[in-house]
């Protein structure tokens, strides 16, 4: 058997996790799944109401704590990290789930929209990693999970800037792994396919292999437990897109046009 790529995480009951982007969708579902398994979880996003709803009864029980913030604000992230690490003593896992989506085609592209999308989907995660790495290295353990997307594998229609932000995050996570794994800090790259959340509820096209947020959370927890570097799901869709990744351009472009009609 091959050894897992990441150091093992503690049992869920002993886990201290910080989830950035926990007020809805995938992040809220992962927060709930961890809380149900007895973990202590700090939940962050801009909407305090959304965070309170995601934390539910675990807030009163004291296993959930709320840290509302905008993760593109480096000072806010640094302050929250200090409080979370101080409260928990150490942090086993920081999951950076927050992100946004906007359909953009070539003739709709504006510098303003592109910058706004990149600010959230790229600078938000990278700035958050910058704020936490010194603390994780000082702990000598812990892990970072970054939510990218299967849409980051290759160019897809309507994902002109979104896809670029997610492709960049994949590369970022790979390089982060090479730096941090030898220092006993794990890195997980999480690549979901289509998950039913407020973000995809806006889509007007048929989403193949669409799954619910709770199923996505289960896939993420299973991947974390296995110590995988990449956690890509749903499996069948991820496998199809991984194959497409290796096609020569002539075949790839034809396959995408056939599949999307665009």
Ligand X SMILES: NC(=O)c1ccc[n+]([C@@H]2O[C@H](COP(=O)([O-])OP(=O)(O)OC[C@H]3O[C@@H](n4cnc5c(N)ncnc54)[C@H](OP(=O)(O)O)[C@@H]3O)[C@@H](O)[C@H]2O)c1
Residues with catalytic function:
162
Residue count of the chain: 262
**Is residue 45 at the binding interface for ligand X, with CB under 6 A as the rule?**
yes
The token pair at 210 is: 């669409």
* Among 198, 253, 257, 221, CA closest to 41: 221
The upper half-sphere exposure of residue 203, i.e. CA atoms within 13 Å in the direction of its Cβ, equals 16
Q: How far is the CB of 208 from ligand X (least distance, A)?
A: 11
**Is residue 234 at the binding interface for ligand X, with CB under 6 A as the rule?**
no
Instruction: Provide the mask over 97-116, with x wherever binding to ligand X is found by CB under 6 A and - wherever it is not.
Output: xxxxx---------------
Q: Please, which residues have CB within 8 angstroms of residue 160's CB and are 6 or more apart in sequence?
A: 104, 105, 106, 109
**Is residue 192 at the binding interface for ligand X, with CB under 6 A as the rule?**
yes
* Footprint (CB under 6 A) of ligand X, residues 49-68: 50
Q: How far is the CB of 72 from ligand X (least distance, A)?
A: 5
Based on DSSP, count helices (H) and strands (E) in the chain, helices before strands. 10, 9
Q: Any idea what the Cα angle at residue 41 is, between residues 212 and 83, rounded to 5°?
A: 140
Give 136 or 195: the residue with its C-beta nearer to ligand X: 195
Q: Please, which residues have CB within 8 angstroms of residue 63's CB and are 6 or more apart in sequence?
A: 35, 38, 39, 40, 41
Give 6 or 24: the residue with its C-beta nearer to ligand X: 24
**Is residue 152 at the binding interface for ligand X, with CB under 6 A as the rule?**
no
From candidates 14, 36, 53, 70, binder to ligand X by CB under 6 A? 70
Interface with ligand X by CB under 6 A: which residues?
21-27, 45-47, 50, 70-72, 97-101, 120, 124, 147, 149, 192, 194-195, 197-200
């Amino acid at each position: 058997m091959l050894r897992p790529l990441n150091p093992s995480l503690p049992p869920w009951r002993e886990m201290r996790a910080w989830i950035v982007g926990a007020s809805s969708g995938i992040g809220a579902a992962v927060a709930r799944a961890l809380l149900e398994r007895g973990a202590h979880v700090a939940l962050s996003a801009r909407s305090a109401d959304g965070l309170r709803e995601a934390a539910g009864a675990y807030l009163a029980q004291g296993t959930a704590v709320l840290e509302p913030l905008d993760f593109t604000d480096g000072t806010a992230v640094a302050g929250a990290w200090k409080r979370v690490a101080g409260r928990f003593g150490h942090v086993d896992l920081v999951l950076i789930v927050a992100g946004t989506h906007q359909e953009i085609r070539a003739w709709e592209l504006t510098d303003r929209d592109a910058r706004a999308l990149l600010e959230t989907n790229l600078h938000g995660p990278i700035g958050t990693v910058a704020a936490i790495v010194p603390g994780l290295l000082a702990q000598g353990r812990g892990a970072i999970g970054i939510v990218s997307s299967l849409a980051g594998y290759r160019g897809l229609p309507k994902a002109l800037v979104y896809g670029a932000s997610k492709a960049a995050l994949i590369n970022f996570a790979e390089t982060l792994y090479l730096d941090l794994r030898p220092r006993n800090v794990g890195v997980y790259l999480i690549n979901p396919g289509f998950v039913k959340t407020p973000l995809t509820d806006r889509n007007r096209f048929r989403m193949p292999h669409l799954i619910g947020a709770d199923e996505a959370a289960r896939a993420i927890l299973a991947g974390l437990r296995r110590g995988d570097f990449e956690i890509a799901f749903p499996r069948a869709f991820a496998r199809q897109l991984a194959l497409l990744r290796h096609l020569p351009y002539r075949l790839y472009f034809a396959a995408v046009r056939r599949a999307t009609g665009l």
